[in-house]
Chains A and B, each alone.
Chain A
């Protein structure tokens, strides 16, 4: 029971309290770039959940059974980035061949995820925080859910703001950043949940 409670606590903290974009600034590029429409934001979020969960699993297995026993933990950055890049390609190939419906929904977003620093950031954080494999997977999943929540909210706000009259220098990126700043303030409210 206690372990389940601690896992739930981990999920809440990873998805809402320490939101990956709004409080850790990881994965900002897709957050700012792919948030024009709610549809695409949802697709990106779905692809992120899939890839980050899988990458957390694979990276923590590699760390636990290869890097740590051989005392090679200083190689983790190099190994993780290559593993993630390979994994994304591999997932894309498998989905294309065997699960076509999922590929049609998420496939187009997969190449964009290789450059997403959230994937590497979560994998590295799992190692620094000393999580077990189960905890890493839960943490990866919850982080990606947090990313999805944030990007979908931002996309909804941007759709509403599209027709507003905004001073010329603030059009585009500055307005998106200001909106994200206000969202970050709202999300600090979750820190009371800790």
Chain B
């Protein structure tokens, strides 16, 4: 082995556990940088605790399915890899669903149908396809952990923002508005806050995410102005691939019409 190695995220050695972890957490954060897996990001962030629970459930599925898919990568023929990946992922999702039903029934009820829908979360399938099917078991496992924790942090923060503005609470502790836990004159001042309840309703999710993506667009523009690499930034949602497909459909149609003339 030569002493030279490829540098990965944040200057760590490529494909080591630590590099994978920080890559998922910061350099390629799935929600804020790659912008994939937007459906759960919008749906379950009405409070920080829901965000945290959803994030941890996703992390569990992501890490274990990455490890299993990586272990099976030489066994699965590439023509049937998509259904095989789906079966592996769906098995772990079922496992998580049963575990949550048994040990945290209230959280399971709050997250509802979004727990089984982890199956179609594009972060998980995306990582299986892009990383786990090409790399060893240990880096794949830590890739899943890093991506999962990155996702968890991002959606917990979004949940916290929405909860704080919309209900005046943080992790279910009343901070702003009536019944605040802060004592004294400061508490008196804070209790005058009137929660903007639209933020914990559906519309608030769209607004918060819109501003978040606008901020990331600004960051991206600043980085590009300084000549840094911005190729990893996504366009928002897994829809960028769908948008391309839709553009192709429109182009094809126009071509057909011209030929018909």
> Which residues of A does B touch, CB under 8 Å?
22-30, 32-34, 36-37, 39-40, 43-44, 74-78, 81-82, 85, 108-109, 111-112, 115-117, 120-121, 124-125, 128, 168-175, 177-178, 180-182, 184-185, 188
User: Known contacts being A28-B42, A174-B214, is A180 close to B206, with CB within 8 Å?
Assistant: yes
CA distance A133 to B259 in the complex (A): 45
Whether B201 contacts A188 by the Cβ 8 Å rule is yes
Given A77-B97, A77-B119, A85-B83, A172 and B42 contact (CB-CB distance below 8 Å): no
User: What distance in Å separates the Cβ of A96 from its nearest Cβ neighbour in chain B?
Assistant: 16
Whether A188 and B237, one on each chain, are in contact in the complex, defined by CB atoms closer than 8 angstroms, is no
Question: Of the candidates A25, A169, A182, which one forms a contact with B214 in the assembled complex, judged by CB atoms under 8 Å apart?
Answer: A169
Given A169-B214, A181-B206, A33-B86 contact (CB < 8 Å)? no
A178/B210 in contact, CB under 8 A:
yes
Q: Tell me the smallest distance from the CB of A164 to a CB of chain B, in Å.
A: 15
Contact of A30 among B35, B112, B209, B239 (CB under 8 A): B239
Closest A residue to B101 using CB positions: A74
Residues in B31-46 with C-beta less than 8 Å from chain A: 35, 38-39, 42-43
B206 & A115 in contact (Cβ 8 Å cutoff): no
B211 within 8 A of A: yes
Shortest Cβ distance from A111 into chain B, in angstroms?
A: 8
Q: List 11 A-B contacts (CB under 8 A).
A: A29-B238, A33-B243, A33-B246, A77-B90, A112-B245, A124-B116, A169-B218, A173-B213, A174-B217, A175-B210, A177-B210
Contact B207 A181 (CB under 8 A): yes
Q: A154 → chain B, closest Cβ, in Å? A: 11
Top 5 nearest A-B pairs (CB, nearest first) are: A33-B239, A181-B206, A33-B242, A173-B236, A177-B210
Number of B residues contacting the other chain (C-beta, 8 Å)?
54
Asked if B107 lies at the interface with its beta carbon under 8 angstroms from chain A, I say no
A sample of 13 more A-B contacts (CB under 8 A), given A25-B202, A124-B117, A174-B214, is: A25-B205, A28-B39, A30-B239, A33-B241, A33-B243, A44-B246, A81-B90, A85-B83, A116-B120, A120-B119, A170-B214, A177-B207, A182-B203
Please, which residues of chain B bring their CB within 8 A of the CB of A27?
Answer: 39
Residues on B with C-beta less than 8 A from A22 are 202
Whether B181 sits at the interface, judged by CB under 8 Å, is no
A22-B236 Cα distance, complex, nearest whole Å: 18
List A contacts of B38 (CB < 8 A): 28-29, 32
Complex contacts, A174 vs chain B, CB 8 Å:
210-211, 213-214, 217, 236
Do residues A40 and B39 form an inter-chain contact, with CB atoms below 8 A?
Answer: no
Taking the closest CB of chain B, its distance from the CB of A58, in whole angstroms, is 17
> Which residues in B have their C-beta under 8 angstroms from that of A85?
83, 86
| B217 and A81 form a contact (CB under 8 A) | no
Q: Which residue of A lies closest to B246 (CB)?
A: A34
